Structure 1
Amino acid sequence: MRVATAAEIREIDRRAEEEYGLPGAVLMEQAGRRAAEVVRREVPAARRCVVLAGKGRNGGDGLVASRHLAAAGWRVEVLLAAREEELGPDIRQTLTRARAAGVEVMPVTSPALAGAEALLSTADVILDALFGTGFRGTLVGIAARLVEAANAAPAPIVALDIPSGVDADTGAVRGPAITARTTVTIGLPKVGLLLYPGAGRAGRVVVADIGYPRPLLEDPGLRTRVVTPAMVAAQLPARPPDAHKGTFGRVVVVAGSVGFTGAPSLCALGALRVGVGLVTLAVPEAVYPIVAAREVEAMPSPLPGDDGAIGEGAWERVRDLAAGAEVIAAGPGLSRRPPVARLVRAMLAESPLPLVLDADALNVLAEDPDALARARASTVVTPHPGEMSRLLGLPTARIQEDRLAVAREAARRLRSVVVLKGARTVVAGPEGEAYIVPTGNAGMATGGMGDVLTGVIAGLVAQGVAPLAAAWAGAYLHGLAGDLVAERLGQAGLLAREVADALPLARRAVLEGHPGPLEVLQ
């Protein structure tokens, strides 16, 4: 499903009117009707709604919703955060129709704030239509007071299009912002609903179809998508009944060092649990006995070592082991010793196989990240924000401020598929495509999860999935597996191996039509 920025949704509105003859007033009517439908469904026992309305298009949608609720027998009060003379002609007409339907409209000025706050405190449900996708900056004054009062009220809040105070393009929250139970967003999800901290204010996201022409919603110029179960299911290779282990590919994992002996096994387990046929586990000779004693399904093999880590000549051995494989995954637990840097550079320069690089394979490239752009074969890199900071020379805080833009820039510069891990992982391709992964939970913030993800992505590549698709589909399955484990055990105490073991369940769920975190209201 494609995702829109504020500018992109404005362009869709313009084209809907100019190319398809759909006037803004018609779209506003449909948006408000959909919002009222969601309000009634979210709180079926409620009969009193307080609507926060601004002077713009979002406020107009809220006024339409108020009229539909009143027509259904609800008591509706609108707190209008504007003077009526500030309203445009379409919004003013909408206001008149709302009043005619029995909606009580109260323009909120400073002297009226106490009364507005009292209304909010006694509402059954609150509809937030103060600010829409055009909002930037920080809420102040009356709007800020209304948002704070709404958040303090016991009633659930439904946000219309995006919670007021959230930046639609980045998810940034720079001051007071609505904390909604549900957000009904119009036409397409907005970036700010899917990335934190905005995602934490949106609650459950319902995407409402208001009649935009399909070609506008599926325009290839919309370069960001949110990953859905159907998208993942379409990428998963078939499992023919006459298959053998070679049918599903082979991964070579290069990982581990003294003190990090679990990382190779977790990476291998991720690949195996996502369905790969064979995994060769190449580890330094110092840890080979430990890994070999533990492994049952993966095939361990020792590499030349130096002081507990990989030593000189490792690439030649890895190259031999990779004969007949489809992909190499490298990095988990390797250490940052100089031979590791030489191994990674050799792989980039000489390997004909796709590479999935994580952890120390990225850390050792911090002084020459552009080596990734010179790679012989395609590369997938899976940095967390700290590793991305070292690769790009940016502060971690800057990366977190606009994860989507940073992932895109990294993919362009490094000529790699970039998987920027974290709450709402972002996957970007070198041609500007980007995908937001809506699965996963805070319980996955524990050691070893990234090792499993590296194996998952490599396992999908080995099965014939293109690297970019393997990255976003793998991240989705990894997050969904974590969600399935959390449903059973709770988030605290999740283990990486438990998430790996749940991957077959996640795979089956998407193939069987798992609904995913987003709801589409047709």
Structure 2
Amino acid sequence: MKIATAPEMRRIDERAANEYGLAGLALMENAGGEVARKVADILGGAADKKVCIFCGKGNNGGDGFVAARHLAARGAKVKVFLLGVKTAVGGDALANLGILLKMGAEVIEIAGERDCDKAALATAFADCLVDALLGTGFSGEVSGDLAAVVKIINAAGKPVVAVDIPTGIDADTGRVRGVAVSAAHTVTFGLPKPGLLFQPGAAHAGTVTVVDIGLPAALLADAGMRQNAVTATLVRRLLPPRRPWAHKGTGGRVALVAGSPGLTGAAALASMAAVRAGAGLVTVGIAAGLNAIMEVKLTEVMTKPLPEETCGIIGPAAVEEIAAIAETADVLAIGPGLGRAAETVDAVREIVRNVRCPLVIDADGLNALAGHTESLLETEALAVLTPHPGELARLTGRPLPVINADRLGAARDAATGLGAIVVLKGPGTVIAYPDGEAFINTTGNAALATGGTGDVLTGVIAALVAQGLTSHDAAVAGVYLHGLAGELAAGARLAGMAAGDLLPALPAAIASLHGG
């Protein structure tokens, strides 16, 4: 499923009108009807329920006017609050306001503090509230009477249904502009918007339902939109089947270079994740002084002791042996727990420049490339980079607040500039390709906010490459499976899960997509 930015959604609406003759009033009617249906579903029927609908003067408010009419027709007791005065409403919204007034509906203007008091009193007796104040075209900051109304809605303690996007949320980034409505449900039209998938917008949106309002399918699938949602349907299509005649060779070979003193756990997690995600053979290369530890930690993974500079630290002396391991592997993952010693940093850069098999680079592998990203441009291999925002800031020199303010743009720019696939981790993980195509993940939760979960992701992506997926598809599918495993392992708890809990959940996540 495509994801539409606010400008792209405007173009879809314009093309629907200009190329297909689809009137805005028809789309508004369908949109408002879907909102009313959602409200009725939430309340177990609309009859005799009290619903307060807060409308702006634009098209989002027009959707609210339509919803009010439909709910009234279903027997609900509806009060409509209009931010501003009726004479400021225009376009298609005005037509629907006129219909509503002719039906005798109560439309209360909010143009000052006393009007806000009336709204606050009405919400105290309501069963449900509808936020139809501002749509995806909102920019700037919520202030004045609008901010007061948003606070009234949030303070009511009633279920809130947002129309298209909660008021105060930037549709493209998920940022909050001043204050924002906290909805239990958001009914969004045609396609999801990035701001509904990124935090804090996702938290304000609650449960998001994408509804069909009659927009032509060709417009919703336009290849000019370069953002996509990572869904179960997509990943199910990407995952490799496990054939009845499979053996360890058909599962592919993963080579991993990881670990340093105090950080052998990262190597263990990444290598076991590769096993749990279906790789046939996994070999972890680690400094010779730490090999005995890995032999104890791992039973299903082969270990390869590497020449070390000092105890537990690899350097240029290990490059030749790492290259030999990579020659027999389908993919090389490098970085988890590897450390930041100067000798190790030099080795990583040389490995990246010279290895020819697909690469997955994480953690200290990424830190080694900070300030030396030319290694990525010199290599024949396609690399999947898996940074968190801080690592991406070090890798690109871009300030961390700028990255967090526009995750999609930051990941896309990095992928294009580095000639690599960039997996920007965090809520709403972004997978960006060098050609500008990008994906936003829809799985995962706050339980994943613990050390080691990124190491698991490295192993999962590497395992999928080893099983024959392209690096592009492996990054997309791996991120989704990792998030799904987090959901399965965490259950109802969002604190206290350990990264190792993901390992037994990975086969269950894969099985759920295969129908097992």
TM-score, scaled relative to structure 1: 0.96
SS in 1 for 2:209: strand
Q: Give the Cα separation in 2 of the matches to 1:321 and 1:285.
A: 15
Query: 2:452 pairs with 448, 451, 457, which one?
Result: 448
Query: 2:143 matched to 1:146?
Result: no
Q: More deviation in 277-286 or 492-501? A: 492-501
> 1:177-216, aligned counterparts within 5 Å?
177-216=180-219
Aligned counterparts of 1:83 and 1:491: Cα–Cα separation in 2 = 45
C-alpha separation between the residues in 2 aligned to 1:50 and 1:342? 64
What does the per-residue CA deviation read over 1:136-195, in whole Å, with 9 as the maximum and x for residues that have no partner? 121111111111000000211000000000000111102110000010000000111111
Tell me the number of residue pairs that the alignment of Structure 1 and Structure 2 aligns.
512
Cα offsets for 1:446-484 (capped at 9, x unmatched)? 111010000000111111111121112101100110011
Aligned-partner Cα distance in 1 for 2:342–2:262: 18
Hey, what does 1:377 align to over in structure 2? 381
For 1:270, the aligned partner's letter is A
Quote the RMSD (CA, aligned, Å).
Answer: 1.2
1:341 is aligned, of 339, 345, 363, to: 345
How far apart are 1:45 and its partner, in Å? 5.6
Q: Indicate the SS of the match to 1:126.
A: strand
Corresponding residue of 1:92: 94
Aligned-pair distance for 1:102?
4.2
Letter in 1 for 2:15: R
Matched, 1:302 2:305: yes
Structure 1 counterpart of 2:84? 82
Q: Which moved more, 1:81-90 or 1:229-238?
A: 81-90
* Most deviating of 354-363 and 46-55: 46-55
The residue aligned with 1:6 is: 6
Q: Distance in 2 between matches of 1:221 and 1:503?
A: 34
Distance 1:102 1:370 in 2: 69
Once the two structures are TM-superposed, the CA of residue 386 in structure 1 deviates from its matched residue by 1.0
What secondary structure sits across from 2:439 in the alignment? strand
CA distance in 2, matches of 1:32, 1:12: 18
Q: How does 1:104-115 map to 2 (within 5 A)?
A: 104-110=106-112, 111-115=114-118
Provide, for residues 52-82 of structure 1, a one-character-per-residue CA deviation record: whole Å limited to 9, x for no partner.
Answer: 1001110000100000000000011110002
Contact in 1 for aligned 2:333/2:459 (Cα 8 Å)? yes
Larger mean Cα displacement after TM superposition, 402-411 or 345-354: 345-354
| Contact residue 478 and residue 500 of structure 1 kept, 8 A | no
Counterparts of 1:410-489 in structure 2 under 5 Å? 410-487=414-491
* Aligned match for 2:263, one of 239, 260, 265: 260
**Segments of 4+ in structure 1 off by > 4 A?**
none
Alignment partner of 2:63 out of 39, 61, 64: 61
| Mapped contact 2:3–2:227 kept (Cα < 8 A) | yes
**Which of 282, 285, 288 is the equivalent residue of 1:285?**
288
Compare 64-73 and 310-319 and name the one that shifted more: 310-319
SS at match of 2:165: coil
Range 225-234 or range 365-374, more displaced: 365-374
Among 172, 179, 182, the alignment partner of 1:169 is: 172
Superposition deviation, residue 104 in structure 1: 1.2
The secondary structure found in structure 2 opposite 1:456 is helix
Conserved 8 A contact 1:132-1:160? yes
Partner of 1:37: 37
**Matched position secondary structure for 1:313:** helix
Give the unaligned 5+ runs of structure 2. Answer: none
Q: Is the 8 A contact 2:275 2:463 kept in 1?
A: yes
Q: Aligned letter for 2:503?
A: A
Q: What's the CA shift for 1:20?
A: 1.3
Instruction: Identify which range, 333-342 or 400-409, moves more after superposition.
Output: 333-342
Question: Does the C-alpha gap of structure 1 residues 512 and 82 become closer, same or farther in structure 2, counting only changes over 3 Å?
Answer: farther
SS in 1 for 2:289: coil
Q: Which structure 1 segments of 5+ residues have no match?
A: 514-522
Matched, 1:17 2:17: yes
Amino acid in the other structure paired with 1:223:
R
For the residues of structure 1 that align with 2:394 and 2:28, how far apart are their CA atoms? 46
Q: Which amino acid aligns with 1:5?
A: T
